[in-house]
Amino acid sequence: MSKFVKISNKITKFNKKLSIDGDKSLSIRWALLSSQSLKKSTASNLLLSEDVMSTLKCLKKLGIKIKISRNFCEIIGLGLNGFKYKNNLILNAGNSGTLGRLLLGLLVHSKKKLLLKGDRSLSKRDFLRVIKPLEKFGAIFDSNYGKLPIKIHGTNNTKPIKYFENKGSAQCKSAVMFAALNTLGETTIKAKKSRDHSELLFKSLKLPIKVIKRKNHDIIKVKGKSKIPALNYKIPSDISSAAFFIVLAALTKNSRLEIKNVNINPSRMGVFYILKLMGVRIVKLNVRNYKGEKIADLIIKGTNNIKPINCPIKFNSSAIDEFLLIFLVAAKAKGVSYFKNLSELDQKESPRLKWGSKILNKIGIKNILTENSIKIFGNPDLKVNKKIIIKGFLKDHRVFMTSVIAALSFGGKWQIFDKESINTSFPSFLKKVDYLGAKID
Ligand code: S3P
């Protein structure tokens, strides 16, 4: 199978309904939390992607019983601190920062030694951000300056901690919450706003958690050592995967797209609000509540009238995975857009702020990049005719998929490498592109 796709034609207008794969953050959290219950937990519409499969593989190695049939999954956990495995077990988090960091939280009490490793992209990412707070529980982590592989020496004498999470990282916050589950006493986290799926799952399980919401941060208190009930869950569609098609529809004049059953948790909705400010016609319908998560159907209509934006930093965390796509929309705006305080973007699977700038350079859109910001000089008449090759990034699904959306929206003759990267988060991405009528080789 070839490792790249070739795209030589823009997509023509479409009017379609689309379903999107299950949410990745929720799929991984469901599996990890279920492993801590003694009961049988079930999930339907689990995302069947490599990141989720890596999660299930790690849990199996830790002695957890898992049955999976299509996207329905059953987990029978071993209870708190119940993992069963041989000394010096090696766990592989693959490409997934969420898995690697949250799993470390569950391992602060491990009785035997373990080693956590990951792929080339994950091995370049910062784990000191979770090692530092997790060491406060009493565990010891040997790493190469905070990078994978990491040796884990758990402690059976954990003590609750106080932790200030100041990056707006849901992974750091959740890793500490997971460690707190296993720790007698109350752990207190002051956390900059970030996605709150872990808090909502804890609440839906009626675990002893208190969340006090302040303007810029939340105070989260978790009391450990209470029994975890079964977690039966229907995973809604992932807004971060839906975003690729939201942007494709928005940039394709006279198109209309309906996406059902999308998780519209406010802590993930930055992309929605930013696109609306830029003039994208997007509405949510049938808003409903599911175990604390908000779900809705979305309707998006194509437009030719994109406005530039001075993007409010309050949306940074809730749009963190969608900025590459938002930059494409800014490329079509009538005027200059400005995005700032985005250093966290370069902490992802590849340095995404730099990749955003590279893709814009390739399509001929002037942009000024600094260490943590980008100014984009939009052109509403943007048409690309040249040959463009996208190659050489660390395995990063979002760089690949954003490049496909750019090719289909702006034209040009594209060759985009690392097709397999979609398997980490959105394996059916290219099938959906095909269903909307795009021609891809
Ligand atoms: C995630 C949190 C975010 C996000 C990632 C998934 C999660 O990372 O970028 O794709 O599931 O908690 P950070 O916590 O590093 O911001």
pLDDT in tens, 183-198: 999 999 999 999 999 9
Q: Does residue 164 register a pLDDT over 80?
A: yes
Per cent of the chain over pLDDT 90 is: 97
Residue with tokens 């190695």: 61
Helix, coil or strand: residue 406: helix
| pLDDT tens string 195-235 | 999 999 999 999 999 999 999 999 999 999 899 999 999 99
CA distance 254 to 343: 36
Domains 4-21+241-435 and 24-224 share a fold: yes
370 and 118 in contact (C-beta within 8 Å)?
no
Residue of 23, 51, 119, 321 marked active site: 321
Give pLDDT, residue 1.
55
> What pLDDT does 176 receive?
98
Query: Which ligand 1 atom is at minimum distance from the Cα of 24?
Result: 11
Buried b (16+ CB within 10 A) or exposed e, 155-179: eeebebbebebebbbbbbbbbbbbb
Q: What is the pLDDT of residues 354-375, one digit of tens each?
A: 999 999 999 999 999 999 999 9
Q: Which residue has a Cα nearest atom 5 of ligand 1?
A: 98
Q: Which of 108-112, 260-264, 270-274 bottoms out in mean pLDDT, i.e. has the lowest?
A: 108-112
Q: What is the pLDDT of residues 276-299, one digit of tens each?
A: 999 999 999 999 999 999 999 999
Regarding the domain with residue range 24-224, which homologous superfamily does it belong to in the CATH classification? Answer: Enolpyruvate transferase domain (3.65.10.10)
Residue 105, pLDDT score: 98
Q: Which amino acid is at 312?
A: P
C-alpha 321 – ligand 1 centre gap (Å): 8
241 Cβ closer than 6 Å to some ligand 1 atom: no
Question: For the segment 62-89, what is each residue's pLDDT rounded down to a tens digit?
Answer: 999 999 999 999 999 999 999 999 999 9
Rounded-to-integer distance, Cα 155 and Cα 159, Å: 10
**Nearest atom of ligand 1 to the alpha carbon of 25:** 11
Instruction: Give the fold, CATH level 3, of 4-21+241-435.
Output: UDP-n-acetylglucosamine1-carboxyvinyl-transferase; Chain (3.65.10)
Q: Where are the beta strands (DSSP E) in 84-146?
A: 89-92, 114-117, 140-144
- Distance from the CA of 98 to the center of ligand 1, in angstroms? 6
Two tokens, residue 334: 């009538």
Q: Where are the domains positioned within the chain?
A: 4-21+241-435, 24-224
Mean pLDDT on 46-71: 97
CA 63 to chain centre: 26
At residue 427 the predicted structure's pLDDT band, cuts being 50, 70 and 90, is very high
Cα 8 from Cα 385, distance rounded (Å):
9
- Is 170 near ligand 1, meaning CB less than 6 Å away? yes
Residue with the smallest CA separation from ligand 1 atom 10 is: 321
Active site residue 418: no
Tens-place pLDDT, residues 102-157: 999 999 999 899 999 999 999 999 999 999 999 999 999 999 999 999 999 999 88
Q: Quick one: pLDDT at residue 31?
A: 98
For ligand 1, atom 16, which residue shows the shortest CA distance?
Answer: 169
Residue type present at position 379: N
Give the Cα separation of 301 and 68 in Å (integer).
37
| CA separation for the pair 138, 161 (Å, rounded) | 10
Among 102, 171, 293, 397, say which to mutate for ligand 1: greatest number of ligand atoms within 8 Å of CB: 171
DSSP H or E run through 150? strand 147-153
Q: b vs e for 306-345, b when ≥16 Cβ sit within 10 Å of the residue's Cβ?
A: bbbbebeeebbbbbbbbbbbbbbbbbbbeebbebeebebb
d(CA 387, CA 415) in angstroms, rounded, equals 8
Instruction: Give the integer Cα–Cα distance in Å for 399 and 333.
Output: 21
CA-closest residue to ligand 1 atom 9:
321
- For the CA of 317, the closest atom of ligand 1 is 16
Residues 162-172 have a mean pLDDT of 97
C-alpha 169 to ligand 1 mean position (Å): 6
Q: What is the mean pLDDT of residues 167-174?
A: 97
* Ligand 1 within 6 A of CB of 425: no
The span from the CA of 8 to the CA of 408, in Å, is 8
Q: Mean pLDDT throughout 42-69?
A: 98
Kindly give, in sequence order, each residue whose CB lies less than 8 Å from that of residue 5, ignoring residues fewer than 6 positions away: 404, 414, 415, 416, 419, 430, 440, 441
